[in-house]
């Protein structure tokens, strides 16, 4: 989290992170906190059945349903990261405005930072879904288009990605944010 904040991918109180605690629950960062100052005490537990346990005065992120849907969908997911970089935000709006359903990234060596990708020629598909303040409905929209993508973008909002553990999720964030920045720079220079 601190590395993402230091790189400018989490401004103000944006973004959130979670870690699977067991088959039925996960820990997630509390809402409204500066991600550059988070501590272990700023994590609360959420069960897939909807129960929550947070410190007094804290509450789960409004985007908790997005995390819960991913954990319920794939038991192999061990950690989820949600960032708000400029590249993810701008590109997702551009893709949505063009009426496209996803952002395709290809030709970038950094794609090999993603699990299962062995060549720069691979096509990395990131679905783009329209933003919705009803995050339960938004989670259903994501589930309908996700397929085997390594992450997704919420238009005008940011990136979600995950991994089998915290280290893999962190690697996926770094790889995807790099790819998004390359794509944004390329579009600016075209």
- On the question of pLDDT at 31 being above 90, the answer is no
Q: Are β-strands 151-154 and 124-129 bridged in parallel, bridged antiparallel, or unpaired?
A: parallel
Spatial contact of 16 and 82, defined as CB atoms under 8 Å apart:
yes
Instruction: Write the DSSP assignment of 47-106 as a string of letters.
Output: ETTS-EE--TT--B-TTHHHHHHHHHH-TT--EEEEE--HHHHHHHHHHHHTT-SEEEE-
Spatial contact of 45 and 52, defined as CB atoms under 8 Å apart:
yes
Let me know the angle formed at the C-alpha of 8 by 4 and 10, rounded to the nearest 5 degrees. 60
Tens-digit pLDDT profile for residues 93-138? 999 999 999 999 999 999 999 999 999 999 999 999 999 999 999 9
CATH value at residue 76: 3.40.225.10
Q: What is the torsional sign of CA 39, 45, 50, 52?
A: negative
Tens-digit pLDDT profile for residues 69-100? 999 999 999 999 999 899 999 999 999 999 99
- On the question of pLDDT at 5 being above 50, the answer is no
Number of C-beta neighbours around residue 185 at 10 A? 11
Q: What is the torsional sign of CA 105, 107, 108, 114?
A: positive
Range of the domain at 30: 2-189
Calculate the dihedral angle through the C-alpha atoms of 130, 86, 163, 120, rounding to the nearest 10 degrees.
100
The encoded tokens of residue 89 equal 């935000």
* Number of separate domains in the chain: 1
């Amino acid at each position: 989290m601190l590395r993402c904040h230091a790189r400018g991918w989490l401004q103000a109180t944006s973004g959130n992170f979670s870690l699977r605690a067991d088959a039925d629950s996960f820990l997630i960062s509390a809402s409204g906190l500066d991600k550059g100052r988070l501590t272990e005490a700023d994590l609360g537990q959420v069960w897939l059945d909807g129960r929550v346990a947070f410190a007094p005065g804290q509450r789960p992120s409004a985007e908790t349903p997005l995390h819960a849907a991913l954990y319920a969908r794939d038991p192999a997911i061990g950690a989820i990261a949600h960032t708000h970089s400029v590249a993810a935000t701008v590109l997702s709006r551009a893709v949505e405005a063009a009426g496209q359903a996803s952002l395709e990234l290809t030709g970038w060596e950094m794609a090999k930072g993603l699990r299962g990708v062995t060549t720069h020629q691979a096509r990395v598909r990131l679905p783009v879904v329209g933003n919705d303040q009803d995050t339960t409905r938004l989670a259903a929209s994501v589930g309908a288009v996700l397929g085997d993508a390594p992450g997704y973008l919420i238009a005008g909002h940011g990136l979600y990605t995950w991994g089998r553990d915290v280290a893999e999720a962190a690697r996926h964030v770094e790889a995807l944010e790099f790819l998004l920045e390359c794509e944004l720079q390329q579009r600016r220079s075209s």
